[in-house]
Amino acid sequence: MDNPTYRARRGRHRRRWTAIGLLVGVPAIVVPSLVFAQEESRTATVDGSAHNQQTSVRSGQVLDDNGSSTADGTAIQQEQVESAQSQTAQTQTTGSGPYRWKNAQVVGGGYVTGLVFNPREKGLLYARTDMGGAYRWNAAAERWIPLTDWLGEKDWNLLGIDSVATDPVAPKRLYLMAGTYTNDWAGNGAILRSTDRGRTFKRTDLPFKVGANEHGRGTGERLVVDPANHGTLLLGSRKNGLWRSTDYGATWRQVSSFPVKNGASSGAGISFVTYGKAGSKTIYVGVGDSSTSLYRSTDSGRTWRAVSGQPTGQLPQHGVVSGDGSLYLTYTNALGPNGVTAGSVWKYTPNRGAWKNISPSQGSYGFSGLAVDPRKPSTVMVTTLDRWWPEDEIYRSTDGGAHWKALAERSKRSAAGAPYVGTHTGHWMTALAIDPFNSGHVLYGTGNAIWRSKDANASDSGGTSHWVSGARGLEETSLLDAIAPPGGATVITSMGDQGGFRHDSLTKVPSGRLANPMMTNSTDIDFAQSKPSTMVRVGHGGDQDGAYSTDGGTTWSGFKAEPVAAANDGRVALAADGSTIVWTQVGQAPYRSTDKGSSWSRVSGLGADAVVVADRSSAKTFYSLSGGTLYASTDGGATFTARAGNLPSGRLTAVPGIAGDLWIAGSDRGLLHSTDGGRSFATLESVQSASTLGFGRAKPGTGYQALYLIGTVKDVTGVFRSTDKGATWLRVNDNAHQWGAIGSVGVITGDPDIYGRVYIGTNGRGLQYGDPS
């Protein structure tokens, strides 16, 4: 499937899968298409209005992002960012209908690949994720603030962050190395540059690709600032060698003297870049090559040599220089984060040219996470990688690696902040950081976000360290579907890597994932419109690939049988009264069951991969849009016949409560509507393109469902609401809230009980929900 959302989900294994900052009153500079090595400073515009990224926090308390644009059929009017003096989050609008956006709480859910403290400013900390953007830590509120939600559909590839660099001289300066894939179908990467800690960004497009969601994404930082000359940065690429900027990241040139200019033997190229001891003019670069993996420059990067005596046969993950000039390194025998079966930890003392293997243990696993206490150069911490039994471990040494203590059994863990994670140490523990201002404050990333301790040094004196979920505000799940049944749970999700959650409250973390079966990926979910406590979901990774619930998703029972052996995933539809399930498994024709999945029979009249949709009023009626033809069944999905042809491929949806009322989101052919069960369709002139459409509670005084569209109206692409059957549209998101490839994800639904509320599924930023502000 040539679909970026599918590709992202397919590439994730054993894992998923609010407001921004202190208000400064400076408009964001988002430059859509800069030529490489050129800098342009201007604001993006929408319908002639300047784009201002609303970013506000009341002192010490994180507030919600406010919508910053409105649209009512024609003009798109931009909200003004308030002044720095007021430091409040009140909405100033020039129209009606701006929305306030939040995440439905899961807390984490995805792979945090890097954690970077600023060494100069206390409490300044950043996190990077493989496909969900970057975050800044709010120390007062103890939560994360998303920094890259402004990236839209055309820039979805930039939501993967392969490296973060924070300026050690001017802490307000932040650099993100953005790009998710290096495949031919992915665009080139970019450097996102900020002078206000990520509240606003300028962009420089790179002439090569960046792979934040590829193998080796948990290695060290590839992008670093020269502490002796902070206008200079080095960038280690995966396929194109080492690059340098001397103008704060605005322009870049390849370092011709660096010997590796390709992907090296691993194909992943450079794994980390780090500067040596202050004043030494030393730089170390790790390369994913099992024969020669470490290079050093002692003249600020003009010349390079392989470090003599270095370990061979393994690949470097992280390299950190301590205050005494020693270089510590972690190694694996594969890029990771999966497939690692061996590894080691080494210490290099440059003034003696001496290497020492200081591995704290040995087994069929590697070592990745690495941190040295900036206040105590002999205090080192490392993590194992792929030590699946009994669990991954954290080791701590206070004597430069001569002796180690294992922390797993010397720690207590509370999962109250994210119950689904459990209290084990975690997996994919590649990001590890010690606070430069507080030796006891330590965080590490996992495939399910972050663990955090304020007393990680307790073991130094024989005590017990305490760990809690440190991911509040960070949401990185990948949505595949979501339902909002009337009168029941607020919303129930299907998602990659986590399977899905039932949200009785949007502001509280669910007690656990959907279980029995607990699927790795749940690809689709549906409920019976006239009996909404009955629902079904399908996917894979559990004891069964499908399940039903009769109590609104609180408990589930796996299907006793499946239509085709070894098939899974796909799409599922449930009759309006819950009597019939129609399941199209991947690569198969649809099958139906009338006994809650105990037996199945093949549907007649439809071919492989035909997606079936239930009429939301008539229990015997189903529809399918396949190959540009609308098919219908009036016998409970047993047989289908064609009703209309020459239709666009797209997403077919049925309106709750009205028999035969259908809509097609037909991509560039716009939005089509049928009121006669698909026998005929009319194209709406108001919509230029339509990715997906959902329904919600009707506006008071009207009798028809509110429509929620991801698409393009009046040359503006965004999320829209209509209360008059699509005649006019109000834009409900804004340029600060775009979340990447939401159109490709195709998950949107209004709330059936609360007028105006809408839920949007993202590919890496969880489930967003918006309310009129």
- Cα separation of 121 and 167, whole Å? 10
- Cα separation of 289 and 492, whole Å? 45
SS3 of 459, please?
A: helix
Distance from first CA to last CA of the chain, Å, rounded? 38
- In Å, what is the CA distance from 415 to each residue of 151, 450, 532? 32, 11, 32
Q: Which of 130, 392, 661, 751 is catalytic?
A: 130
- In Å, what is the CA distance from 562 to each residue of 313, 576, 596? 46, 22, 11
- Cis amide linkage into residue 27, ω under 30° from 0: no
Ramachandran region of residue 269, left (φ > 0), alpha (ψ -120 to 50) or beta? left
Strands 591-593 and 69-71: unpaired
DSSP 745: H
- Please report the beta strands in 289-441, taking only residues with DSSP state E, as ranges in sequence order: 294-297, 305-306, 315-321, 327-332, 343-349, 354-357, 366-372, 380-385, 394-397, 405-406, 411-414, 432-434
- Cα separation of 265 and 115, whole Å? 27
- The residue among 417, 419, 411, 375 whose CA lies nearest residue 391 is 411
Classify burial at 116, counting beta carbons within 10 Å of its beta carbon; exposed 0-12, middle 13-18, buried 19 or more: buried
Query: 288-323 burial by CB neighbour count: b if 16+ within 10 A, else e?
Result: bbbeebbbbbeeebeebebbeebbeebbbbbbbbbe
SS3 of 203, please?
A: strand
Write out the two tokens for 35.
């030529």
- Please report the beta strands in 380-490, taking only residues with DSSP state E, as ranges in sequence order: 380-385, 394-397, 405-406, 411-414, 432-434, 442-446, 449-453, 465-469, 478-483
Write out the two tokens for 371.
């941190």
How many Å is the Cα radius of gyration of the chain?
Answer: 26
Cβ(540)–Cβ(532) under 8 Å?
A: no
- The residue among 334, 358, 229 whose CA lies nearest residue 271 is 334
Cβ(416)–Cβ(470) under 8 Å?
A: no
- Catalytic residue at 130? yes
- Cα separation of 440 and 649, whole Å? 56
- Catalytic residue at 373? no
- The residue among 692, 694, 698, 708 whose CA lies nearest residue 754 is 698
Q: Which of 373, 497, 526, 734 is catalytic?
A: 497
Which residues are known catalytic residues? 130, 497
